[in-house]
Amino acid sequence: MYKFDKNAHSVYTLNYHLVQCIKYRKKILGNEKIVEELKSRTQNIATAYGVKILSMEPDMDHVHILFTAKPQTPLIKFINNWKSSTAKAIKNRYPELEKLLWNGKFWSDSYCLITTGQTTLEQVRQYVENQGDLK
């Protein structure tokens, strides 16, 4: 059964999995203080965009973020703002990272954004295909 969010004129469930790598997969997310800074900044930015962080865990060279959003959330703006704001804050707070980064770049330009659901794609396909059988 779906768990829906709602606003004035719709119900929805919009869940996303974002994977973002450090530029050239530099292994800099092993420092717990940097991770805490990243998580704190992420939460603040998410709140400003009406995004709810469900889970966030880094590996040494990338981070996974599971979040929900509203239909009107500008995802590209959220992601780009998150990337630039977290990079700037972390580089300012930990200037020693500059020598580990290539040309001062923190995040890779590219990212992976996956929609997630509460059912599998095959379950939804079967549901849609079976609608004609209800006549």
CATH of the domain at 17: 3.30.70.1290
Give the chain's mean pLDDT: 92
Residue 105 CA to residue 97 CA, distance in Å, equals 10
pLDDT at 7: 87
Q: Is 85 helix (H, G, I), strand (E, B) or coil?
A: helix
Confidence of residue 52 (pLDDT cuts 50, 70, 90): very high
Contacts of 131 (CB under 8 A, 6+ apart): none
The answer to pTM > 0.75 is yes
C-alpha closest to that of 25 among 62, 70, 74: 62
Which residue range(s) make up the domain with 13? 5-134
Count how many domains the chain has: 1
Q: Average of pLDDT values for 65-88? A: 97
**pLDDT tens figures, 89-112:** 999 999 999 999 988 899 999 999
Asked whether the predicted pLDDT for residue 1 surpasses 70, the reply is no
With 60 as the cut, is the pLDDT of residue 88 above it?
A: yes
Q: Is the pLDDT of residue 13 over 60?
A: yes
